[in-house]
Amino acid sequence: MNFSLSELQAFVSIVRTGTFTGAANRINITQPALSRRIQLIENAIGVPLFERLSTGPMLTDAGQEFLPYAEAVLMALEEAEDAARGNVKGDRGQVSFAAIGMLCTTRLVNALRQFCADAAGAELSLSFHANTSESLSDVVLHGKATWGLRYGEDPRLHSEVIGQERLLIVCSRDHKLATAKNVSSNRLADEPWISSPLGIGPDDGSLWSDMAAPDVAGRHIMLTDSIAAQKSLIEAGFGVGLVPSSSVEADLRDGSLRQIDTAAPQPTVPIALVRRKGTFVSKASQQFARLIIEAHAE
């Protein structure tokens, strides 16, 4: 092996910070020195680890394969040092977590707070994303986060379903169905549907109407690019929509949206905790995952 732990540290730091400049600052070396360390690894293994894009470095396929092994080496060394010092708690290390914004609920925040209290030696970094579950998966796949919380499983990642979220059919406060009782599937089929892609089904939005009522599937569907846009259009009276319950709690409380009383069964969508396959999971990271799982099992 023609590279050392310092080169592995440089590689993992770039992944964690997302930039060469940030990584150089993090490990207290110059950027040219950092670039030389990465070049040394790439020369030794014969393949590039990063694509140098205008938006920043992105892991190549080889880099994605190399990352869990580099993490395992560094974390194993850190845990060996802890064991030698008698630190049996194993709460040191870095844990990075990303979630789509709609899943930033009170129970998640409480679990994060509990982890910070229990694992005082760990470094936790957080990011929340307004986009789809698919884009969240990309964050994890590219090594920007150890763990991710999304809707639905992703076969590209190690996925564990840890809970279910109810999906509600909603409309504006002034909609004709806002005060109707026991609305049938046939009445729902006459309405324009406004959908949002959460990355767990077809991008044409048919998943949502089909889950709401089979008779609705494929009719009058307007696809938006975000939950925020979906809710704005529904509130303005352009149609009805199926939305995760956590995304409309405030809207239902203030009355800007109304839940439609329907005879159709209430569907649910799985909440999954994901990480890269084959990645090394430290004791601190295991402790973090356990708290997130427990919070969503309640």
Give tens-digit pLDDT for 141-186.
877 788 999 998 999 999 999 999 988 999 999 999 999 999 887 7
What is the per-residue burial (b if ≥16 Cβ within 10 Å, else e) of 32-55?
eebeebbebbbeeeeebbbeeeee
Please state the rounded mean pLDDT for residues 10-27.
90
Structure confidence at residue 203 (pLDDT): 44
Asked if 236 and 245 touch (Cβ cutoff 8 Å), the reply is no
Please state the rounded mean pLDDT for residues 102-127.
86
pLDDT at residue 208 is higher than 80: no
Asked if 136 and 234 touch (Cβ cutoff 8 Å), the reply is no
Please state the rounded mean pLDDT for residues 51-71.
87
Q: How far apart are CA 167 and CA 178, in angstroms?
A: 17
H helix intervals, 200-282? 206-212, 227-235, 249-254
The whole-chain average pLDDT of the chain stands at: 83
> Of 268 and 172, which is predicted with more confidence?
172
Structure confidence at residue 142 (pLDDT): 76
Structure confidence at residue 210 (pLDDT): 53
Structure confidence at residue 88 (pLDDT): 46
All structural domains of the chain with their residue ranges: 1-88, 164-267
Q: Fold for 1-88, please state it.
A: Arc Repressor Mutant, subunit A (1.10.10)
Same fold, 1-88 and 164-267: no
Q: How far apart are CA 190 and CA 185, in angstroms?
A: 9
> Of 289 and 188, which is predicted with more confidence?
289
The angle that helices 20-27 and 31-45 make with each other, rounded to 10 degrees, is: 100
Structure confidence at residue 189 (pLDDT): 78
Q: Tell me the CATH class for 164-267.
A: alpha beta
